[in-house]
């Protein structure tokens, strides 16, 4: 068994979520490490290196599996699936009928919210609000 549900719990939207604990070392997770919170064992696979970290929550019919990571204050719920090499982190919310199989997901765009892009060596920096870039192309968001 890769992990167990601890007695540490929180109440979210009328659902009881339990903190997870690694029962063996795998990927970058060490045996005994406490993780984030899930509602039930169906939310996080016992196979692969998938893990829910820190204050992240996974509940409802959501599933995290493969080598996927959910961390920070991220919330995954509804019928969402996070799998493969996908990372969901920050204050991201993933819900509804969405599948994320690779890449990094850290937020959503809401009604007509202006999202900006800046290319940097074949990658795009995505941000909202005002931002300034220094000569090394580091971004500082001034007003989210």
pLDDT one-digit tens code per residue, 114-134 = 655 555 556 555 555 555 555
Token duo for residue 118: 């800046």
Predicted pLDDT of residue 99 = 75
- The residue count of the chain comes to 144
pLDDT of 143 > 50? The answer is no
The DSSP secondary-structure symbol of 42 reads: G
Place of tokens 């809401």: 110
Mean pLDDT on 99-114: 60
Closest CA to 88 of 45, 101, 78: 101
**pLDDT by residue (tens digit) across 35-65?**
999 999 999 999 999 999 999 999 999 999 9
CB atoms within 10 A of CB 123: 9
Query: Would you list the domain boundaries of the chain?
Result: 3-105, 111-144
Residue 138 predicted with pLDDT over 50: no
Is residue 58 within 8 Å of 68, Cβ to Cβ? no
pLDDT number for residue 107? 57
* pLDDT, tens digit, 9 for 90 and up, residues 63-77: 999 999 999 888 999
* More confident of the two residues 33 and 93: 33
User: In the block, which residue shows the tokens 């609000």?
Assistant: 129
């Amino acid at each position: 068994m890769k992990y167990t549900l601890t007695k540490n719990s929180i109440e979210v939207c009328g659902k009881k979520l339990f903190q997870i604990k690694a029962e063996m070392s795998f990927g970058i997770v060490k045996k005994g490490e406490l993780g984030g919170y899930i509602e039930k064992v169906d939310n996080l696979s016992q196979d692969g290196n998938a893990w829910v970290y820190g204050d992240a929550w996974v509940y409802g019919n959501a599933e995290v599996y493969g080598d996927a990571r959910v961390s920070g204050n991220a919330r995954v719920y509804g019928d969402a699936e996070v799998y493969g090499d996908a990372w969901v982190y920050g204050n991201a919310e993933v819900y509804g009928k969405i599948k994320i199989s690779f890449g990094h997901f850290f937020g959503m765009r809401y009604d007509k919210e202006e999202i900006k892009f800046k290319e940097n060596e074949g990658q795009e920096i995505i941000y909202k609000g005002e931002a300034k870039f220094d000569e090394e192309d580091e971004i500082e968001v001034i007003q989210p």
